[in-house]
Each structure stands twice: as structure tokens, then as C-alpha cells.
Chains A and B, each alone.
Chain A
């Protein structure tokens, strides 16, 4: 189940989505009226199933058809996976920033770090090494580079 928090600032509506997106989610009902620009904070989206994907595309395609400017930011790993898997997932919108997964080589802790997409060069991905917040060990990128950043080359 998803929770939606909304913040209207002038002509820009920011919506923060928290939880899993599945068949019970009706974004149209939950978000309501939208202005000319919508920013979608995807940090807390943990999971999205195929019916959720369908509902997501239907909703954002509707906004795209009304020429609403869409920007997705702080995209969780679950959302980045969908952006990579489905070509029309962001419905003409922009992806401003994404969370990149890291794993500690010592204690195996999962970590995430936020990157602006403009700072990532898909032709030569260079990610910094992070220090684990739990044991101070070395944390390295934990996914398949050519898959996780594939959408940047589209």
C-alpha cells in the first residue's frame, strides 16, 4: 500500500510516494488536481508489481497527455529497475536523481547513495568508494553496471 504526501509550491506540485505500488493504488484519486509541473519523490517506493506498473504508466501517461512537466527524483532502486526494464516508464518525464546501491565488503551491509543523473557519464561510469556507516569498511557498487545505468544511454 502506498502513502502520498503532497506539497504545492506556486505552480509546482511535489508528491512523495511511500510504500509498495500494487493493484490497490489509484494515483489519480490520491493525487487529485495537478498544476503544469509535477515532481515525484520516489525515495520511499520499496516495491512495484506488474499491476502497479500498469497503473503507474496509465496515470503518468494521462499527465503527459495534458503536457504536465514530470520530474522523477530520488528514485529508489526499485524504481530505477523499472525505468531500465520498461522504455515508457517515465512517460516523457525526466529522471533528476537516483539512489545507487552499495554493499559493504566487510559486514555486507546494504547502503545507498544519491547521485544526480547529470553527474553520471554512462559511457564511463565512475563511482566513488563509500565507507560503510556501520563498520567503516569499504562499500562498493552492488549491481550490474551496464544494467543499472542503462536508461542513461537511451
Chain B
């Protein structure tokens, strides 16, 4: 990327020295095993300090050939921020994936990454809808689905994207609101309840489209997303017998996990007690096989 110096090394001393001496904008970690990650983490612990002011998990980008469910050790690391699922075959697709992720790197280098436009080409179209009531969710989801079908998206792709957006909006309405003590206001509220979305409860839905990618973002004014909880959900395999879906758990979790498994990139941008943006981005591809198997990532930008 223009204007940035790239330091590429497998030498842990060079890495720790760079972290101690330079302003590092982004750290891309490409380590194939838990042992090598532990060694990396250990070197940082010894040389820099895992909780040093010089480190910020928002700027760590872990590259993996395996899904997050097979990289659970990352969830325990204070270094873990962003996850790149290396899904591409051949140099052409790698270059396209690199171009897509360059927007993420650029956005995460700034003070705040808020705004879906930051993750798209500057000339992309962005539309924003302000929701007035919770019961408008289905209208918004169906309107988006109809728009995608009109834009010649295959029906299954449109349905997958619509489902992802359904989950984002539902979480923004029912999971985000908290009271002064941080308790979830609507934890036990049926999800078909009609709730006015005014003032602090207001929700905006932004849709970005550049002809190749479509992105949808739900913004709430609570800043209450729990990073650890989200990552645990995303790394849970509900198809395993030990993770049978529990009726006692609210709907959240499985929806976002499904989105990531179905090819969607997820972005969690959260300023504590102030604002959260959760976005999904899908690349349009020729067929469902490629769509579900597309390059994708999870962005976690948490600001205190």
C-alpha cells in the first residue's frame, strides 16, 4: 500500500524490536500452528509485554488456512483482533483478496474505522435507512432481498445475504440495548415485539454496493458488544453433537456463525457505551459453490 513500509520476517527478535521501536500500523501474523503462535505470543510477552501500550489488538490480523472453529486458541490471546480466512486459489484470486483486505488495513489504521464506506471503493454507492420501529425489520430485509434479485443475484445468494442482514438488525434491536448497569434490556423480550426505535434506541442500516461486493451495516447507539462472546459464538460448531442448539439461549450467535460459514465477512466496530456497527460483506460470485467458499474475514475494532 502506498506510503507504508513493509517488514516481512520470520525472526521473532526483529518483530519484537520493531514493536518496541516503531509505530506499527498493522501486524499480519501468518503462523500455521498453535505452537508457533504461542512462541510468537511468548516472545511479545517477554520483550514488549502482552498488555503494553505499544500493542493494540485492533491492529493484529491473523491469517489462517483453517476456519476459526479450528483456531480456538486465538480466542484466549489478548493479541487477537482480526481474522483472515485464506480462501483463494491461484494468484489472480489472491490479488483480488488482497485488494479487498487492503481496505480493511487502511480503515483500521485510522483512529476509528466506523462507516461501511471505509471498506469499499470510494466511488461505491452507499444508502442509509433510519428505522423507526422494530417491526420494520422484515420490510427492510425483504426490500434488500428484492433489490439483490433485481440486480441479478441468484436467489440463494440473495437469501443468504437477506438472512445475514436479518440477524444484524435483530441483534441491533434486541441484543444491543443495555441499561445503566449494563444489563440487556430486551434479553427476555420476544423478538416479534414492536419497539419504537427513537433517540438512544435509534438504528441505522447502511447498504454499500460496488458492483462486486455488497455490504450491509447495522448501527446502534449502545456500544455494548462483547468481543469474547461474539468470537465464542463464531467459533462454535452447532453441527457437533455437543453443541445442540439450546432453547434457553436467545437467537443470537447461530445467525452470525452461519453468515461466516456461508461466505460472509463480518465486521464488529464498537466504541464502548457509545456506538456499535456490525457489518456483513459478501462478494458476488458466479455460483453458490464459489460464493460459499469465498475469501472472507472477521474484523474486530474495539475502542474504549
Chain A residues in the interface with B (C-beta under 8 A): 1, 22-24, 46-51, 53-54, 57-58, 61, 77-78, 81, 84-89, 101, 103, 108, 110, 142-144, 147, 150
Q: With contacts A50-B167, A53-B245, A150-B239 known, is A142 near B287, CB below 8 A?
A: yes
Tell me, rounded to whole Å, the shortest Cβ–Cβ distance linking A77 to chain B.
6
Name, among A47, A89, A108, the residue most crowded by chain B CB atoms within 10 Å (CB to CB).
A47
Tell me, rounded to whole Å, the shortest Cβ–Cβ distance linking B165 to chain A.
10
Q: With contacts A50-B170, A53-B245, A143-B289 known, is A87 near B192, CB below 8 A?
A: no
The answer to whether B251 touches A49 (Cβ under 8 A) is yes
User: Which residues of chain A are near B192, meaning CB under 8 Å?
Assistant: 23-24
**A78 to B163 CA separation, bound complex (whole angstroms):** 10
Of all chain B residues, the one with the shortest Cβ separation from A58 is B247
**A83 to B112 CA separation, bound complex (whole angstroms):** 39
Of all chain A residues, the one with the shortest Cβ separation from B154 is A110
**A48 to B167 CA separation, bound complex (whole angstroms):** 11
Q: With contacts A49-B167, A144-B293 known, is A86 near B159, CB below 8 A?
A: no
Number of interface residues of B (CB under 8 A): 35
Chain B residues in the interface with A (C-beta under 8 A): 138, 154-156, 159, 162-163, 166-167, 170, 190-192, 238-241, 243-245, 247, 251-255, 258, 261-262, 286-289, 292-293
Q: With contacts A57-B245, A143-B288 known, is A86 near B166, CB below 8 A?
A: no
Main secondary structure of the interface of A (DSSP, over half): mixed
User: Which residues of chain A are near B288, meaning CB under 8 Å?
Assistant: 101, 103, 142-143
User: Which residues of chain A are near B293, meaning CB under 8 Å?
Assistant: 144
User: Which residues of chain B are near A89, meaning CB under 8 Å?
Assistant: 245
**A106 to B108 CA separation, bound complex (whole angstroms):** 41
Q: With contacts A22-B166, A23-B191 known, is A87 near B247, CB below 8 A?
A: no
Q: Given A46-B159, A110-B155, A150-B239, 14 more contacts at CB 8 Å?
A: A23-B170, A23-B192, A47-B162, A49-B251, A50-B170, A54-B245, A81-B262, A85-B254, A87-B239, A87-B241, A87-B245, A89-B245, A143-B289, A143-B292
Selected contact of A49 from candidates B244, B245, B255, CB within 8 Å = B255
The answer to whether B292 touches A87 (Cβ under 8 A) is no
The answer to whether A87 touches B251 (Cβ under 8 A) is no
